[in-house]
Each structure stands twice: as C-alpha cells, then as structure tokens.
Amino acid sequence: MENNTNKLPKILIIGGGFGGIQIAKKLKNKAVEVLMLDRHNYHTFQPLLYQVATGGLEPDSIAFPLRKIFKGQNNFTFRVADVSQIVTTENKVLTDIGEFSYDYLVLATGSETNFFGQKEIEHFAMAMKTVPEALNLRSLILQNFEEAVSETNPEKIAALMNFVVVGAGPTGVETAGALSELKNHVLPNDYPELDISKMNIYLIEGEPRVLAPFSAQASAKAKQFLEKMGVKIILHSRVNAYDGQKITYNDTQTIATKAVIWGAGVKGALIPGLENAEIVRGGRIKTNAINLVQGYQNVYAIGDLAYMETKDFPHGHPGVAQTAIQQGQQLGANLINIINKKPTKDFWYFDKGSMATIGRNKAVVDLKFWRFQGFFAWLTWMFIHLLFLVGFRNKLVTLINWIVNYFSYDRGTRVIIRKFNRETMKEADAAV
C-alpha cells in the first residue's frame, strides 16, 4: 500500500487510454501527486487495432509505453495493476499488487465488448478491443487458410473461408474492408492452391444501414464501397447464436463459418464498489456536468465509461476518442480548481466530426459543415490518425507501412506468432 507522505492531494487515475493520458498531462507541474494504474504498461491506439488483426501493422506501431509518455513529469507515478475493487468509504482501491489510497479518483477504464448476455457467442466470437485480441484474430485468420489448404471436404473449406463481421459501425466496416483487401490483393498470391474467389465476407447489422451514426450520404457511400469490394451486407438482422461452426441470424438464417468477428456493441468497463452510482444503458456511469459520479463527492468518470446528459447530447456523448480526450483535459483543469476552491467549468463537447475508412482510396468523412467521400476523405483519415498516434516512431513506422502497402498491394506482417486454439478460444503455445 502506498501512502501520500508529502501531504499533497493524491489523484488516482485508473486507465491509460486517451482520457487518462490527457488528465495526467493536464496535471503536470501542479501541486498534486498523480498515480495511474493500468493492467498494461502501454497505451493502445484502438482505432487501428483492425489493421493489426489483418496484418497491416505490427502491434508496437499502435502501442506506446505509458512511462515514456510521462517521462520527466515528476509528480506522476505509474503501476501495472489489475483493479478488483473500489472501497469508497476508505478512499482506496484494491488491486493484485496491493492497496492504493486516493483523495480524488478518476475512472478512465473505457469500454469492453458487449455480447448482450449471449454466453455462447461470447465464447466463440472474436472480440477486438485489445492488442492481444487483435493478435488472436490475426492468427485465426491465417490459421483458417493454412487449414483450408490441407482440407479436402468442400463444406469444411467453405466454413474456413467464410468470415462474418457482426456490427456495421466504424470498426465493423473497417474490418470488413480490410478483409476484402486481403482477399483481392494478398491471399491469392499466398495461397495459389485455393480458389480465393470462394472466400466470403459477410457484414451483419441490425440497423437499416451501415454506419448508422453517420450521415445518410456517408452511409450510402460506405455501403457502395463495401459492395463493390465484394462484401455481402446483411441489414435489418440480429444474430441469435454462434457455436463455433455456424452463425444463426433472424432466427432461421445460417452461415457456416469458423471466424466471427464481433463488433456489435460495447459496454462500460465497470469496477465493483460503486454501489451508489447509477448505471445506465451500456454499462455507463451517470455523471454530472463536471464528470463527478452521482452519489459521490470525489469519484469521477470520463470517456466511454461516463454518461453525461446535456442539451445537445440528451443520451450521452459518443463513445469516441475525442470525447475522452476533451473530458480528460477539462476534468484536469477542474480538479485543480476544486483543490484551490475555485469555480469549475461544465463540460462542453466540441464535435470534430466522424470518419471511417473502407479501403484503398475509399473513406467517408462527416464534418459539421462538410461531408465528403473517396480519395480525399481517405487522405484526411490517414492524416488525422497519424496526428493522434502517440510517439514519433509510431507515426513514422505506421506511415512507412501504409506507403509500402499502398504501392505493393501487400501486407507484410502475415505471420502466426501466437497460435490460437479455436476450441478453447485462447492463445495456444507460441508458434516459434
């Protein structure tokens, strides 16, 4: 257990995502002690996880050591820890490495995949919220084709070459597009023994259109891009079951597949102990206008975990990186004001727009007063993502990979480093 011996207020941040990083940076050189806990020692740039999963990038291109981010910030301490319980009556948290006290607690744990209580689907479908999950998915994709090469049963080959993406939000659309580019440009050269034209990519969505939160113009264009790339889009459909062999949707329709990628929803990554908090739809914690968890005086929540009702966002803010970044910056300033007994400022979200890439030269961008699609949107998407990647090396390596992939029509990281056991749905022994 660590104690605050110098009597400065201790701000404990759980989570090293976009929001956690911003609030810690905002507190640099302030008269406070900042402690950050995270189960990993790195920050993950989640918007590019699908590229790790489909062989476009290596994981170290989108991960950056948290300690390196805060190098030289003397009031900052970091520990790798898995938080199991919050004890608000004693202002402390319990972890696998001990207890940590706080004066102010900030929950920046983000979100996790939501399977909506469907345990069988949760067991067999592939999530993609973390680097290990993205690597597992990459292994599964490549293992399916390695197995298909040696298989003689046509039905089994079909199941190995059918890929189903559930959820047509940005993650689902981008993943389906990346799989299509693998099919069209990469896999025919890697597996000449297989008829890659028989590889099918399905995108299942419950809403009447893809990219439902986007404008109708962007949605229609994204659908057009995907269909031109060969993705089979199934709208107005709900997945009922998946047993590792076939997926069932709309009660009776089935697809034989050994690869289901689940992007149909997320929920707040809650930590036990907040009995007084109001948990709303999607596992989010209700907060007031300064991100204070209702029912508590010194516990705050930001980003995907927080649910804040405002006039412009009566159902809470969107679960995107910009929300976490802006809330982290604002809460950092507010905490200093609270400590110094100064007025706080309510959070106001500046919507910078939405964007998604479907593939080479294909993207959609929705800004407040301007919507555009195609090549320029694709360049905009790349620029913005490079801009927000943490670390110069990561930016440079990612840019070089994109340039090489663009001109070579190739993805150079098609290696099975960690074998994936399809039965247990866990990482098996290392492949090397």
pTM for this predicted structure = 0.91
**pLDDT tens digits for range 95-125:** 999 999 999 999 999 999 999 999 999 999 9
> Nearest-5° angle of CA 176, CA 350, CA 329?
100
pLDDT level of residue 270 (50, 70, 90 thresholds):
very high
Q: Which CATH architecture has domain 119-264+360-430?
A: 3-Layer(bba) Sandwich (3.50)
CA distances (Å), 355 to each of 25, 127, 209, 214, in order?
26, 22, 16, 8
Q: Which amino acid is at 343?
A: P
**Higher per-residue confidence, 423 vs 291:** 291
Catalytic residue (one of 174, 193, 227, 278): 174
Is the pLDDT confidence value at 3 over 60?
Answer: no
Is the pLDDT confidence value at 431 over 60?
Answer: no
**Crossing angle (nearest 10°) for helices 375-388 and 392-408:** 150
Could you give the CA distance from residue 231 to residue 183 in angstroms, rounded to a whole number? 10
**86 - beta bridge partners?**
93
What is the chain's length? 432
| CATH number of the structural domain 10-39+81-112+266-339 | 3.50.50.60
Q: What's the mean pLDDT in 216-244?
A: 96
Mean pLDDT of the chain: 93
Q: Which two structure tokens, joined as six digits, stand for 148? A: 């298909």
Q: Which two structure tokens, joined as six digits, stand for 178? A: 């990346």
Q: Domain locations in the chain?
A: 10-39+81-112+266-339, 119-264+360-430
Predicted pLDDT at 419: 83
Q: Which amino acid is at 149?
A: V
pLDDT level of residue 304 (50, 70, 90 thresholds):
very high
**Higher per-residue confidence, 19 vs 408:** 19
Q: What's the mean pLDDT in 80-99?
A: 97
Is the pLDDT confidence value at 370 over 80?
Answer: yes
- For the CA atoms of 25, 29, 32, 37, what is the dihedral angle to 10 degrees? 30
**pLDDT tens digits for range 159-197:** 999 999 999 999 999 999 999 999 999 999 999 999 999
Specify whether 133 is catalytic.
no
